[in-house]
Structure 1
Amino acid sequence: MTGMNQPLATRMRPSSLSEVVGQEHLIGDGQILTRIVKSRQLTSIVLYGPPGIGKTSIAHALSGDLGVPFGYFNAGVHSKKDLQTIAKDGVPGDPVIVLIDEVHRLDKTKQDFLLMQIEDGSLIMVGATTENPYMSINPALRSRSHIFELKPVAPENVAERLRMALDDRERGLGHRHADVPDELLVYIAEQTNGDIRSALNTLELAVMSTEVSPHGLRSVTRDIVNTCLQQRQIGGDKDGDSHYNLLSAFQKSIRGSDADAALHYLSRLIQAGDLISINRRLLVIAYEDISLASPELGQETLAAVTVAERVGFPEARIPLAQITVRLALSPKSNVAYKALDRATEAIMSGRDLTVPAHLQDAHYKGAETLGRGVGYKYPHNYPYGITSQSYLPDAYASDQYLEFRDPTDTEHAQFRYNSINQIIKRQE
């Protein structure tokens, strides 16, 4: 038994794709990675997904199936000189294959060197990243790679890997004579949230910390497992791609008036501890999604996030929960900012943007001679403070940007808008 001083997760890395659990959309009959192995035509790829779900394992499995050794390079730790050392044996037609862990951390000098090697065919990259490659990887490098997203591993698949580790006498824990009930393996898989590496390390610690009975068995219990489990990661890295997915789901749940879902995502965001992003998103929601339907909620939201900032966690969860429910249950409107978008689109159309002469600045001597301000009607001199005159540039006079589609949407604003137009029509 070799390498038994290494962590179980390292020892149990698959030596071929047939040992990989999950990722059926990439591995299996007719799937892309299996086809690559059969054709022996590996090109540069990027494997993207959450931690511990098999990115590095798949790279090692490809190495085993292809019978080609991989160089290993960590973009956040190793230097450009290290990369040059690994790449020196590669030549066009006989490339060296390099697993680049944390590929999103490559700096410009490493990227430039890597691009040159990939371009001339002397290096094939297998990149691994937890970050969205479309946002975090240099476009030139991305365009020379095929991107494959790995999915979270189902608990039953993680449990399957744990069973393999328990039975494997060469690389796993088979020689430790551990008695771990199957339901406990499933429990570990569920609590580690699809992270195979964390699940294997939890199992190893549980087995190794269990006393050997007089009969030579290690009987692992749930209490032992619970002491070995790390706190479940439900919030995600506050700088990571998964965190932005949570923020997106949070806003969309409020927009969809699902208060329960909004609270679910709020709880996960709180676990990540990113109060700044939560507060910013709530303020955006108040004006983007609620807006004229309940304009008072803008100030309520500002008050709630101000309190949250003042008191900090854990008490900040109280005002955050209240304003989240208020926003989710409120009527919704996007009339105002959509109208602004239409106005912005209109001014880019190339029409004459000259401000009408009667609206131009007329405070200086000689303005009247130039026709500035002439004919302007002062609204306060008219009933209801409203008078019929053109405010838009002549080329835009017929434009209307506000569109009230739902009779219940922004009821007060819509009523006021219609009333103003009726008064103007009576004056014309």
Structure 2
Amino acid sequence: MQQPLAYKMRPRNLDEVVGQQHLVGPGKIIRRMVEAKMLSSMILYGPPGTGKTSIASAIAGSTNYAFRMLNAATDTKKDLQVVAEEAKMSGTVILLLDEVHRLDKTKQDFLLPHLESGRIIMIGATTENPYITINPAIRSRTQIFEVKPLTEEDIQVAVKNALTDKDRGLGNYPVKLDENALLHLSRATNGDLRSSLNALELATKSTPEENGKIHLTLSIIEECLQKKALTHDKDGDAHYDVISALQKSVRGSDVNAALHYLARLIEAGDLPIICRRLMVMGYEDIGLANPQAAARTVQAVQAAEKLGLPEARIPLADAVVDLCLSPKSNSAYVAVDAALADIQAGNVGEVPDHLRDSHYKGAAALNRGIGYQYPHNFENAWVDQQYLPDKIKNAEYYQPKATGKYEQALGQQYYRIKEWKKNPEN
């Protein structure tokens, strides 16, 4: 059976893992577990092609434990029994259990005692949020780690490794990969290394050799990825230019320009980028001026993700028109950045005693919670008391804008409370 390039290039140890350095880098949690020989069962969750199987394979390679792969949806309890028997014989088996969120109760009940004994170290892989989709009995016996989409740089490193590796990769093929083709490979798959390597392999093996070289151009990579580049410019900046132009057109309320740039991103097949950017705009640029527009954008994005392209263009267009013609406010975004700037500058201070947790024995002796006034016991559910630390007790971050009815109402309440503070008797 011919194995795909992505399978053959799986890392053999943690040092070969591309990306995910927050988990496998020096001093990070998974590397610590491997180096201390204190492995425990875990769940890796994140988008497809980002390295969940690779991390499991690298852990097995770094520990010399037997490594087995099963799928919770399609493999049976009998398959689990085979792994359990092997674990009894060899001592420990690392089991990569794909689609772990599909584990039914029968298989779960069989697996639990083996996880508790440590005979089977399960590495569950899922694209779903484990805090929502995975049974608490499994969740409580595992550590949960998020696997993040790979960066362009990560994918470029992996592509170059595949092109030079003569044992597992394409090192025996005389490939010349154009720089703009490499950029497209690293960008168009939105962090999915498997897709990038699959396209690279198809391009290499389907392109005739000429003058002793297999010349992979941007158009060849576009065809093998089935995603067009935004432009054929040399440095590839148009990818970011179009995304920037979309947001600035929405911010500037130019609906026709925004639809134009949306169409360019749709034509390039950049659905994840579009969805993320629209949600950012909903909260960054429209914000409190029209919170319902942000909520509708989230609904449109969810519909687009379920529909996929080309039908996804319809809810996406609805969202772009809605955001363009909505009143705009960045007040909350500016306010939280101002608060973060204070914190990063060291302007923090102690939480006032009357606001501290008072629900434990001995709290009163430490003056915790003493003097706190419960706002609901007062007229307008408001009482004048200090909430900020002494060091920044007069800080003001939020400045209301009057560009939408909702924030106008918030602003009226904000200034009303300021007046109450000045004249608490009124």
Same fold per superposition (TM over 0.5): yes
* Greater C-alpha Rg: 1
Cα separation, partners in 2 of 1:168 and 1:257, compared to 1, 3 Å: farther
2:287 maps to: 255
Opposite residue 61 of structure 1, the aligned amino acid is: A
Deviation string 1:376-414 (CA, Å, 9 cap, x unpaired) is: xxxxxxxxxxxxxxxxxxxx99764699x9796555998
Cα RMSD between the aligned structures?
A: 4.0
Q: Which of 72, 76, 92 does residue 75 from structure 1 map onto? A: 72
Instruction: Please say if 1:28 is aligned against 2:25.
Output: yes
Deviation at 1:145, TM superposition (A): 0.9
Deviation string 1:300-328 (CA, Å, 9 cap, x unpaired) is: xxxxxxxxxxxx87556555433334445
Opposite residue 222 of structure 2, the aligned amino acid is: N
Cα separation, partners in 2 of 1:59 and 1:255, compared to 1, 3 Å: same
Instruction: Please say if 1:226 is aligned against 2:257.
Output: no
Deviation at 1:223, TM superposition (A): 0.9
Deviation at 1:149, TM superposition (A): 1.3
2:367 maps to: none
Instruction: Map 1:220-369; keep pairs closer than 5 Å.
Output: 220-231=216-227, 234-235=270-271, 252-253=283-284, 254-257=286-289, 271-273=304-306, 319-329=318-328
Structure 2: distance between partners of 1:397 and 1:143: 40
Q: Which of 119, 124, 134 does residue 122 from structure 1 map onto? A: 119
Cα separation, partners in 2 of 1:105 and 1:273, compared to 1, 3 Å: closer
| Runs (5+) with no aligned partner, structure 2 | 228-267, 333-375, 384-398, 417-426
Deviation at 1:96, TM superposition (A): 2.5
Deviation at 1:14, TM superposition (A): 0.7
Instruction: Please say if 1:185 is aligned against 2:182.
Output: yes
2:162 maps to: 165
- Percent of residue pairs bearing the same amino acid type: 40
Structure 2: distance between partners of 1:59 and 1:40: 15
Deviation string 1:103-162 (CA, Å, 9 cap, x unpaired) is: 111112222222122123332111111111111111121111111112221111111110
- 1:71·1:99 contact (CA, 8 Å) conserved in 2? yes
Cα separation, partners in 2 of 1:265 and 1:219, compared to 1, 3 Å: farther
Opposite residue 324 of structure 1, the aligned amino acid is: L
Q: Secondary structure at the match of 1:323?
A: helix
- 2:279·2:298 contact (CA, 8 Å) conserved in 1? no
Structure 1: distance between partners of 2:197 and 2:152: 13
Cα separation, partners in 2 of 1:190 and 1:268, compared to 1, 3 Å: farther
- 1:71·1:86 contact (CA, 8 Å) conserved in 2? yes
Q: Secondary structure at the match of 1:321?
A: helix
Deviation string 1:339-389 (CA, Å, 9 cap, x unpaired) is: xxxxxxxxxxxxxxxxxxxxxxxxxxxxxxxxxxxxxxxxxxxxxxxxxxx
Structure 1: distance between partners of 2:63 and 2:144: 20
- 2:185·2:221 contact (CA, 8 Å) conserved in 1? yes
Deviation string 1:263-320 (CA, Å, 9 cap, x unpaired) is: 9978855642559xxxxxxxxxxxxxxxxxxxxxxxxxxxxxxxxxxxx875565554
Structure 1: distance between partners of 2:221 and 2:205: 11
Structure 2: distance between partners of 1:149 and 1:313: 27
Opposite residue 39 of structure 1, the aligned amino acid is: A
- 1:43·1:145 contact (CA, 8 Å) conserved in 2? yes
Q: Which of 68, 82, 104 does residue 107 from structure 1 map onto? A: 104
> TM-score w.r.t. structure 1 length?
0.61
1:354 maps to: none
Structure 2: distance between partners of 1:413 and 1:183: 50
Instruction: Please say if 1:18 is aligned against 2:15.
Output: yes
Tell me the matched-pair count.
Answer: 307
- 2:188·2:270 contact (CA, 8 Å) conserved in 1? no
Cα separation, partners in 2 of 1:332 and 1:109, compared to 1, 3 Å: farther
